[in-house]
Every structure is written in C-alpha cells, then in structure tokens.
Structure 1
Amino acid sequence: MIRILISSIFLMLSTSMMAQSNLQKVFNQKMDVADSREMGTKMLRMSESFLGMPYVGGTLEGNPTERLVCKFDGLDCTTLVESSIALAVAKTENPTFEGYKNELTKLRYRDGIIDGYPSRLHYILDWLYENEKRGRLEDITEKVGGVPYKKEINFMTNHANLYPALAETSAWEKVKEQENLINSREHSYIPKAEIQKAEPMLHDGDIVAFTSAVEGLDVNHMGVITRVGSRAYLIHASLAGKKVIISNVPLAEYVASVPKHTGMIVARLTDNNQ
C-alpha cells in the first residue's frame, strides 16, 4: 500500500514537472516572436502567435482552491487576451517565465493578490477598471465615440447555481459587494450601430469587449484588433470556430451578426509600468 502511494505521488510530481517544463518551452518560443517598440504591435504579435490554438471553455474553473492557471495549449476569449498582454509585458519588462506569471497575476486578480475565488476579476468591467487604475491599460471607449453604458450588473449572484464556488455564503457576499462597486461607477460603450464609425480610430492590438444583451451581464466576449487595409478585424478564441481565429468579416459586421452583442468597449495598452 505504501509503495503504491509513493508511486502515485512520484507520478503526480513527474507530471507536474513535465507540464511546467512544457510551459517554459512554449514561453521561450513566445519570447522569440518578432519584437516592436510599440506595445500595441507587441500585443498583436502575441495574440497572432495563438492562431489555430484550440478553444477551451472555462479554462480557469474547476480547481479545489483558487490558483494561477497558465495555459498555452487551449484558451477561452479572456485567457487569450490576458495571456497576450502578459507575454507582451514580459517581453518588454522581464522576459522570464516568472515575469510572465507575475503580470498574469496582476491582470487577473484584485491588487495582484490571489485570495480565494472572489479575488479574481470576474467581470470585464471590473477587470478594465482595476487594470486601468494600475496603469496597464486605458479605457478609450469614450474617446472613440462611446456613450454612457447604464446597466445593473448582477448576473453572478443572481445565477449562483452556475458558479459552484458561490455556494459558500462568504464568497457570494464578496462578489455581491464587487457588483455593487461596479454599479456605482460610470461606464461607456459604443452601440452596435456606431461601431463602423469607430473602426478607423482603432489600432492594432487594441482590446475590445462586447457588451451583452443578457440581463445582469456586462460582457459576452472579447478579443484583439488587427487592422487589414482600411478595416478592423477581430482575433479571438471562438466557441463557434473551436479555435483562435481572425474574424472572416470586419469588426462592425461581426458584431452585427451576433444578436446578444449590443456594442463594444475598447481599451489600449500603455507603456506605464506598475
């Protein structure tokens, strides 16, 4: 029995070490991606490096305790954006795997501290606010034609059955507090019908998030802008396409084709280091 237990522990450790080694290898390859002095171009190149990667939903869920999840072999829309930012920042500031993980933690968790499920920035409106506050990005929605986005955000606490971690009362209460804070702030969005007017003002590497028609939910989906000729296209981890793709139609037409998208929010990476 003891021999079996030792063998099992050794196997788990070996598997973990192999996974870490594979992550390090892929990270090193990402650091060889063509460089640029422009942060937006860095962001674009890193997101392009994931083209063809399988779509995997809920990549951050299912762990018994909250921990930093690093994946390069399958992404959802949010982890594509976060991974691309963290890689672009690491290449600029600290081109080590530890540097990448440090930025990913700051992007994903309030004040860069992992302290249980509620410490993760679950709502994109909150994610944008916190990462703008630390100087990593700027919400430029209002500058490119945005109008007030007024909506009560409460999807998670109103649908706690969809989130096993919210079964714990304290976790539900903390997320409710976060929803209240989100609802106390002012937000902007570009309505669906106005997106084509905003397209010429978008840059390579801009981050776009699509506001939701679903009651209580802020954003359905997100991705990265790539300019092709005079139009903007979307690089995103597509559920329908089952992988990371470039949209086959320009941004305005893509958004118009999705009934649950009501408009978009735009953010741009900065070169400020915090």
Structure 2
Amino acid sequence: MNRRTLLQALAASSLPGLLAAGEHLPQNLTFINPGKFDRIVDRALREDWQRLPIGERMTRAALAMEGTPYVGFTLEIHDRIESPSVNFDGQDCWTFFEIALGLARMLARKQARYMPADLLRQIETTRYRGGVCNGGYLDRIHYLDEWFRDNQKRGHLKNITASLGRTMPLEGRRIDEMTVLWKSYRYLKNNPGLRQGMAEIEAELQKHPFYFLPKEAVQAAEPRLQNGDIIGIVTRKPHVYCSHVGLAVRTADGVCRFMHASQTHKRVLVDKSVSAYLADFKSHAGIVVARPLE
C-alpha cells in the first residue's frame, strides 16, 4: 500500500491522525514560530474553543493572528521540494485563511498536547489535491476555484455562493497565471520541467464553469454570511479568477467585515464590511464563498 492509499484509508477510518503529515522538509523550514502556535493553542484550551462550531473556531484563530505582517509568496519555501508549511511570522492571503482553518480543524480533536505536526497534517489535508503531499510542487492546489471544488468533494466545506443571490458566469477569461508569471514562483523558476504540468492543470481548470456573486449584490447578501466563511475575491484582471481571499468576521457592531492578510495595510487585519471592501477596488468583480464543515 503506497502512502496516498494509506492516508486515504486512514481518512475514511475512525482512527484519524495516526499518520504524521507528509513532511518532506525539516520543521525549521516548514514551521516558523512554534512559540506563537503554543500560545494560540494554550488560549484555545483555556477558552474551550473545541465546544464552538468550526466557523467560530476559525474566527478565534484568525483574530489570534491579527497584526501578523503581510509577507508575499509564503508558500514558496524551497527551490525543489514541496512540503506542508506554516508561518506565524508572516502570511499572505492564502496562508492566513488556511492556517485559521487548519487550527480550527486540529482543535476539533481533543488531545492532551498539540504539536506542530498536528497542524501540518491539517494543512496537508486541505492544501494538496486529494489531501496528500508527495513532495512535488504540482501536488499543491494553486487556484482557489479548484481548492473549493477539491475540498468540497472531500466534505471539508460547501460552496454557498449560489445561495447568497443571483450568480453570474465568468466568461472569456483564461486561468493561466502560474505559467504566464512563472518567474514570480520559486519552484517554477528553478524547475522548468514543471511548467508543462502546470499548463496541463490550468487547461483542465478551464473546463469547469465558474459562477460568482457580483459586487452589487454583496451588500444584500451580507446578513447571510457567517463567521469563518471563506471569501474569494473575483477579479476583472486577466489570467486568474480570484485575486484575493479572506474570511467573514462579524464584529460587535453587527457588521460583517472582511478579515485578510492585506498587502495594502501590510498586516492581517479586520477590514471594512465585505461590500465596502469590494467597492474600494474597480478591479473587484464580486465574490465566491465557501462555508467550512465539521
């Protein structure tokens, strides 16, 4: 039985977590600032986050990371070897929401002690196609629309975009950012042989219709958003469908705000309402939303 088959068997069994994450690099590269991880876990245990629904656990975890510096390309950690990774010192939009989700999923299982490997296993489960990293860059899901589909298929979330209002198709757009802008990606720059495989993945993604909620409909939909909902920002720019991602967080004033790792503000923050955030950028066309599941 190969590792992928064994992981899938364990995921389907009643004995989850018996196999460590597919760690192909040492943790001094893949897990930055374990002290911050310990502090968040200690707080979660004191406040009994386990009793909360997953969206609320995600929100608590996200707020515990507020103020983390924005650092771009935090997924690109090596020239050749791919491995699940976590960075509490700096995050981009993807790693911020993904770590919040990973912490929420990890804390659902009561343990005497949580280790970095526990969070890395959760990251592997959602970051990689089919939930398994074999050390290859193309194992990773690189586009949010595929991430939604792959994780929905495996029961980790539900795409609720269609339930929020009248959606519209995104047409006349190619999804080819990774191959067009390959010089920006460390692995693709150092491994030219990966570019053909990435192009084949992008060609497959083109076959799937993509529907989104236009920005003018978002304000009316905000009351139906819940804490921890994953919000993809659909762009009018070429080469990609979603240019940004964050979380819905409802603050004490009742406003549903967009929490994200912001390149503009250089940190993780709770921003304006989702609709007001969209209105600030002409390039923003609308949103897609996924709700995490237990």
Q: Report the equivalent of 2:86.
A: 70
Q: Report the equivalent of 1:7.
A: none
- SS in structure 2 opposite 1:53? coil
Q: How many residues align?
A: 258
Match of 2:38 among 25, 33, 48: 25
Q: 1:62: Cα distance to partner?
A: 4.1
Residue identity in the other structure for 1:111:
G
2 CA distance for matches of 1:202 and 1:50?
A: 21
Q: 1:129: Cα distance to partner?
A: 1.1
Q: Report the equivalent of 2:7.
A: none
Residue identity in the other structure for 1:234:
F
Given that residues 109 and 121 in structure 1 are in contact (C-alpha distance below 8 angstroms), is that contact kept between their aligned partners in structure 2? yes
Q: 1:31: Cα distance to partner?
A: 3.6
2 CA distance for matches of 1:213 and 1:19?
A: 34
Q: 1:256: Cα distance to partner?
A: 0.8
1 CA distance for matches of 2:37 and 2:250?
A: 31
Match of 2:255 among 202, 220, 231: 231
Q: Report the equivalent of 2:73.
A: 58
1 CA distance for matches of 2:289 and 2:27?
A: 43
Q: What CA RMSD, in Å, does the superposition of the two structures yield over aligned residues?
A: 2.4
Deviations for 1:122-181, whole angstroms, at most 9, x for unmatched residues?
111111111111111111111112322333211211222333422434311211121122
| Greater displacement, 262-271 / 160-169 | 160-169
Q: Report the equivalent of 1:243.
A: 267
2 CA distance for matches of 1:69 and 1:161?
A: 22
Deviations for 1:70-114, whole angstroms, at most 9, x for unmatched residues?
211211111110000000000002552233211101111112222
Residue identity in the other structure for 1:85:
L
TM-score w.r.t. the length of structure 1 is 0.86
1 CA distance for matches of 2:261 and 2:52?
A: 26
Aligned pairs for 1:73-92 (under 5 A) are 73-92=89-108
Give the number of the structure whose alpha-carbon radius of gyration is greater: 1
Q: Which runs of 5+ in 1 are unaligned?
A: 1-12
1 CA distance for matches of 2:282 and 2:255?
A: 21
Aligned pairs for 1:55-204 (under 5 A) are 55-64=70-79, 65-93=81-109, 95=111, 96-97=114-115, 98-114=117-133, 115-145=135-165, 146-150=167-171, 151-167=173-189, 168-204=191-227
Residue identity in the other structure for 2:68:
M
Given that residues 76 and 187 in structure 2 are in contact (C-alpha distance below 8 angstroms), is that contact kept between their aligned partners in structure 1? no
Q: Closer, same or farther in 2 for the Cα pair 1:205/1:62, shift >3 Å?
A: closer
Compare the two structures and name the one with the higher helix fraction: 1
Residue identity in the other structure for 2:169:
P
Identity %: 28
